[in-house]
Structure 1
């Protein structure tokens, strides 16, 4: 399917979140993401909070991601600063300009969207900076061709 929205330039406000850094391989990604979303959501509930957005996964080393080595930051945004515990950290996502786009389809097709967004950034005189984030709108039970993902790329 591919891109289902235009590439948009947006300004995001500072936002608190709970997040955990995980290293796995491609095969272990779904389990790592699912288990850690549950852990973080449980910590939200213990503190009487609900998330302000859908779950996200950041890829700090996207350029060096391989089948065997995937570094992810898995998290949920909140309306206030929450207490982390163990390897779940309380973080502040800084205010920043981003480029954002929605995609429908198989996750393997996201590389094409990343390339298109990188070209948009270059063509419009911007520079990418920092960790790209993916927001997963679809339940794992949804067929792969119907998965909806929002990709955000921060700018300098």
Structure 2
């Protein structure tokens, strides 16, 4: 199916999050993402807090990813700065401009959306930071063609 919203330029307010940075390969991604979402959610519960958005995975330098070398920042947003623990860090993401779009379909189809968003950035005189963030509206139990993902690209 592909893109299910227009590509939009938004101003994202400052927000807090709990995150874990992971280096893995393509086969290790599902396990790394799943285990770390659970660990972060557990830390939220220990602090009697709830997340303010759906789970996300940030891909720093996404244009340089390959199947053997994937750097991810896995996280959940919070309403205020929480305490980190172990390899879970508490961060504040500053206010920023982002490019935003919703996608429906399997993850392999996201490349076309990424290309379209990067084209939009160039055509409209913006510069990307080299980072992309994916928010997962559906879980792994949903058929691939029904997966819904929000893609954000922070801008300089």
TM-score by structure 2 length?
0.98
Aligned mates of 1:19, 1:100 — CA distance in 2: 21
Q: Secondary structure at the match of 1:84?
A: coil
- Report if aligned partners of 2:57, 2:72 keep a CA contact under 8 Å in 1: yes
Structure 2 unaligned spans of 5+ = none
The number of aligned residues is 156
d(CA) in 1 for partners of 2:81, 2:37: 18
Please state how far the C-alpha of 1:103 moved relative to its aligned partner.
0.2
Measure, in 2, the Cα distance between the counterparts of 1:94 and 1:111. Answer: 27
Matched, 1:88 2:88: yes
**Residue 150 (str. 1) matches residue 141 (str. 2):** no
Following superposition, the deviation at residue 13 of structure 1 comes to 0.5
Give how far 1:23 is off. 0.7
Deviations 1:118-145 (A, max 9, x none): 0011111111115210000001100000
Where does structure 1 differ by over 2 angstroms across 4 or more consecutive aligned residues? none
Partners of 2:19 and 2:91 within 8 A in 1: yes
* CA distance in structure 2 between the aligned counterparts of 1:130 and 1:47, rounded to whole angstroms: 33
* Partners of 1:76 and 1:111 in 2: CA distance: 24
User: What is aligned with 2:111?
Assistant: 111
| CA–CA distance in structure 1, aligned partners of residues 111 and 80 of structure 2 | 33
**Which secondary structure state, in structure 2, belongs to the residue aligned with residue 149 of structure 1?**
strand
**Residue matched to 1:60:** 60
What is the TM-score when the length of structure 1 is the normalising length? 0.98
Mapped contact 2:26–2:67 kept (Cα < 8 A):
yes
Aligned to 1:13: 13
3-state secondary structure, aligned to 1:36 = helix
